[in-house]
Amino acid sequence: MKKWEIAVIPGDGIGKEVVPAALDVLKAVADVHGGISFSFTEFPWSCDYYMEHGKMMPDDGLETLRNFDAIFLGAVGNPKLVPDHISLWGLLLKIRREFEQVINIRPAKYFRGLSSPLAEPREFDFIVVRENSEGEYSEIGGRIHRGEDEIAIQNAVFTRKGTERAMRYAFELARKRKRHVTSATKSNGIFHTMPFWDEVFADVKRDYPDVATASYHIDALAAFFVTRPHTFDVVVASNLFGDILTDLGGAIMGSIGIAPAANINVNGKYPSMFEPVHGSAPDIYGQGIANPIGQIWTAKLMLDHFGEEEIGALLLQTIEDVAADGIKTPDLGGTATTKEVTEEICRRLRKRG
């Protein structure tokens, strides 16, 4: 029996509430499925840690994480204590970058029992494949002059390798699904990078004649996520476009609080990292009402990654059943606590077991 070694970083705010919840669920999964077992090692790296140590994680933090099978992260950021660009670069973005987690996977689906903000939600079920290593998220750029004359420059850098890799990942994923890939572009404007993006897409597409495609400019595509989300299967997007689209994916599901994500190291050199889309929500932290679904669904993505897709599917089914039965946190219109939702999911998993 494989024992999966998991580094657990609850992080900040509600990360500290929803991560323990998701660990309880993973324990329940392990209890009922003889074939799977986990060992969790927790690290307190966070803005609180920064206040004490002047850094978000120890200098050998990455070395420490490196030997785990996966990293399970809650949320990072508490702008009242540490400016976001420090906390995020010191932990979340650092891990994504250093561990070559070049792909970010973010599913969105119509969830029974959630009141979607959409009037007539059809049963949408899509995955955004976000390029996670380059593009608009580059360190290149800076600022010059002060006061009236100041100029700030940010470079977006798209490589053939990085772009193609994200697209191939999307096409491969589509083959396991409905064989449709939508490209998020913006080649009608001015960007030197986007006609390039389109050309790479056209090249990659040629290798997947069995997969249908579409291509929309990001502005129109964002609108389509609202007006016809059921028409998407796999959507491939640059780092920034993927960032925006996946929050929208959360919004149309009914809450950003349920959206899961996985940062995938595709070359197998480093662990992948699993973290929900939502942030640390310092405003509701401590009340015990944080929605654990995003983190628990993220645990499902980790199970999938370990090849335990059947158990993953069962877990997602259970989450959805519990929501459909009205056991939901206040952000979803329910009255349940984090704990009640979690316990109900665990109870049903054990019962089904």
Ligand X SMILES: CC(C)[C@H](C(=O)O)[C@@H](O)C(=O)O
Binding site for ligand X (CB under 6 A): 88, 93, 188-189, 219, 243, 277
Residues 181-200 interacting with a second copy (rule: CB under 8 A): 186-197
Nearer to a second copy, 105 or 349 (CB): 105
Residues 63-92 interacting with a second copy (rule: CB under 8 A): 77, 79, 84-85, 88-89
Nearer to a second copy, 29 or 73 (CB): 73
Does position 118 interact with a second copy (CB under 8 A)? The reply is yes
| Maximal C-alpha separation, the chain | 66
Query: What's the one-letter identity of residue 136?
Result: E
x/- mask, a second copy, residues 128-147, rule CB under 8 A, reads --------xxxx-xxx---x
The residue among 191, 195, 198, 188 whose CA lies nearest residue 219 is 188
Residues 201-240 interacting with a second copy (rule: CB under 8 A): 218-220, 222-224, 226-227, 240
- Least CB distance to a second copy at residue 302 (A): 23
297 binds, among ligand X, a second copy, none (CB under 5 to 8 A by kind): none
222 binds, among a second copy, ligand X, none (CB under 5 to 8 A by kind): a second copy
Binds a second copy by CB under 8 A, chosen from 155, 287, 317, 335 = 155
Element (H, E) at 235: strand 234-237
Residue 242, CB-side half-sphere exposure with 13 Å CA sphere: 34
Distances from the Cα of 91 to the Cα of 56, 101, 198, 304, angstroms = 6, 13, 32, 24
CB 68 within 8 A of CB 108: no
DSSP string, 259-292: ---EEE-TTSSS-EEE--SS---TTTTTSS----
Nearer to ligand X, 63 or 227 (CB): 227
Helix (H, G, I), strand (E, B) or coil at 180: strand
- Least CB distance to ligand X at residue 351 (A): 34
Query: What's the one-letter identity of residue 72?
Result: F
Q: Distance between CA atoms of 265 and 90, rounded to whole angstroms?
A: 19
CA angle, 238 then 70 then 157, to 5°: 20
Kindly report the number of other CB atoms within 10 A of residue 85's CB atom.
Answer: 11
- Least CB distance to ligand X at residue 39 (A): 26
- Least CB distance to a second copy at residue 209 (A): 22
x/- mask, a second copy, residues 268-307, rule CB under 8 A, reads -----------x----------------------------
Q: Which pair of tokens denotes residue 310?
A: 């059947």
Nearer to a second copy, 145 or 351 (CB): 145
